Amino acid sequence: MAYVHDEMKQRIDQKSYPFALSTLKTKVIERIEDNNPFGGKMISSQMTHNIPKPEALQKVRELMDDGFLYKDQLYTSVVSIDFSWLTADLEKIKKNIFQAKYHVLKDEAESFTIVRGNQIYEGSVSGQSKNESNLKVYVITKAVVPLSLNIDWLNIIRGKGSFLGISDSPVDFEASRKYEIRDTTEELSFYFRVDPLEAEKLENEIINKLNEKI
């Protein structure tokens, strides 16, 4: 079945869905909010040579969930944030923090971008028709986390220990996109979810052709 699904991934590379972009966006959000990771269909694949190990991808996802910066705004999936340590204008800072399970970074008439963990869903109008749309899914394989040096004033006063401390910053979203790859497994899973009859028809067509060669 792995060969069949790999063949399907190639055939639906430029797949257009017969509904408007707004409908596609709704279906993507429904997919994200569904707890079933495969949308009811287990996808097999032999094309794994350029995909990092699951543990590495999980680490990237955790970093993205903790928080990433995009256009000077912080997006996080952390359930509760402790603001008590902040001494700056709290309300001003909170206005630039977006907290949700997923984040809609772009929502325009011609396209949208939704981020969940280290997955990026990009939808767009297909060609000239407003009633057709297509979806590309990407996965970030490496999180770029800038490091910053902080002066440890207490150690300077005491005259001992390190005078400089290194702290992590939130993930740099745009820099991390340099390490993204197409998530064709998620694209195929989405296809089975929103258009199961057509997806199963294509799957059976490829299986029948394979059987003819045997």
pLDDT at 40: 57
How far apart CA 144 and CA 178 sit, in angstroms, is 9
Strand partners, 97: 74
Q: How many CB atoms lie within 10 A of CB 5?
A: 22
The answer to whether position 19 is within a domain reads yes
pLDDT at 127: 79
Integer angstrom CA distances of residue 185 from 27, 32, 144, 174: 17, 15, 24, 23
Could you report the per-residue pLDDT of 56-96, keeping only the tens digit for each? 999 999 999 988 999 988 899 987 665 554 555 556 556 77
**147 — pLDDT class (breaks 50, 70, 90):** confident
The answer to whether position 29 is within a domain reads yes
Q: Which residue has the higher pLDDT, 44 or 58?
A: 58
**17 — pLDDT class (breaks 50, 70, 90):** very high
User: Chain-wide mean pLDDT for the chain?
Assistant: 83
How far apart CA 130 and CA 198 sit, in angstroms, is 21
pLDDT at 97: 83
Residue with tokens 């972009």: 21
Q: Which amino acid is at 13?
A: D
The answer to whether position 153 is within a domain reads no
Q: Which residue has the higher pLDDT, 164 or 119?
A: 119
Q: How many domains does the chain have?
A: 1
Give the residue numbers spanning the domain of 44: 2-143+171-213
For 167, half-sphere exposure in the C-beta direction (CA atoms, 13 angstrom radius) is 8
- pLDDT tops 90 at residue 3: no
Lowest mean pLDDT among 1-10, 14-23, 132-141: 1-10
Determine the average pLDDT of the residues in 17-31. Answer: 95
The answer to whether position 6 is within a domain reads yes
Q: Which residue has the higher pLDDT, 28 or 147?
A: 28
pLDDT at 92: 59
The answer to whether position 108 is within a domain reads yes
pLDDT at 34: 84
Integer angstrom CA distances of residue 50 from 70, 118, 186: 26, 16, 16
Exposure string over 116-146, b if 16+ CB within 10 A, otherwise e: bbbbbbbbbbbeeeeebbbbbbbbbbbbbee
The answer to whether position 61 is within a domain reads yes
The answer to whether position 156 is within a domain reads no
How far apart CA 101 and CA 79 sit, in angstroms, is 9
pLDDT at 204: 93
The answer to whether position 148 is within a domain reads no
